[in-house]
Amino acid sequence: MRISSRVVFLLIGTAGLLAGAPAHALDGSQTPSTDAKAPLKLFSSPRAALQQGMESLRAGNVQSSVEALTYAAANGQPLARWKLGKMYADGDGVPHDDYKAYQYFSKIIESYDEDTADESEASVVSNAYVTVGVYCLSGIPNSKVKPDPSRALEMFQYAALTFGDPNAEYNLARMYLDGTVVEKDGRQAARWLNLAADKNHRQARALLGHLLFTGEGVPRQRARGLMWLTLAREAAEGPQDAWIVDLYTKDSSAASDDDRQAALVFLEDQIKKKN
């Protein structure tokens, strides 16, 4: 596959200011409470309730969807618990409530059994571990969930090692960069970032690129770092990724022509590896 002209422009172009990576997102800990009680309306089965809830959601009938999903969640459906957790975390069709979201995600973890796990639900379970870990980092204000970085570390490690989850790998790297619970270790951070970067995780690519370009805690590899920064910049999405654009701009403006030419070679190799 040929390298797009946009990517080449990003490598050759220069500009701007540094704006570092964002701080950790929300998180918390504590043991979860149980699912909300099932609504009075009865369904033929929890799976039927799940299906009806998802169909109602797609049709824009949020109230009916929440009722069906709540029934499915109360009767053990991980996807229903995950969907409700996302809805409350985002305030999507329901009042924003991080604590309620945390409870739903935690219930997925509490009920997970490796020996009887359904592989089709692996992504839901993995995401629940990561999300609970994120809540555990700083806690949830005005709730029972207090900051518990040690538990966050356990959540991220489990999701990374069991599921190879790139978000877990990225968060582990951040903990090693910040020295949260673990000792600061740039090489360990780069190891986890590299695993996530290979799975197209743009934030991991940006941080890995910056570490390699500047040599912060790792051997300096300016061209390879510029390659990762370029890929991250190309994938940046909206205001939440402004830090990626700024990080790319800062390091790119400090790159030499030789750095850019070598980065193009690395980029070609990376694209070939993915195809």
Number of domains into which the chain is organized: 2
Helix (H, G, I), strand (E, B) or coil at 272: helix
Q: Residue 74 is part of which domain span?
A: 31-146
For the chain (275 residues), the mean pLDDT of every run of 10, in chain order, is 56 42 38 47 89 95 95 96 98 97 98 92 97 97 96 98 98 96 96 97 98 96 97 96 97 96 94 80
pLDDT of residue 4: 60
Same domain, residue pair 46 and 10: no
221 in a structural domain: yes
169 in a structural domain: no
| Rounded distance between C-alpha atoms, residue 69 and residue 263, angstroms | 49
In sequence order, the 6+-apart residues with CB closer than 8 A to the CB of 250 are 16, 17, 18, 19
Provide the 10 A C-beta neighbour count for residue 159: 27
Last residue of some domain: 146, 169, 195?
Answer: 146
157 in a structural domain: no
Same domain, residue pair 8 and 101: no
pLDDT of residue 34: 46
Same domain, residue pair 13 and 37: no
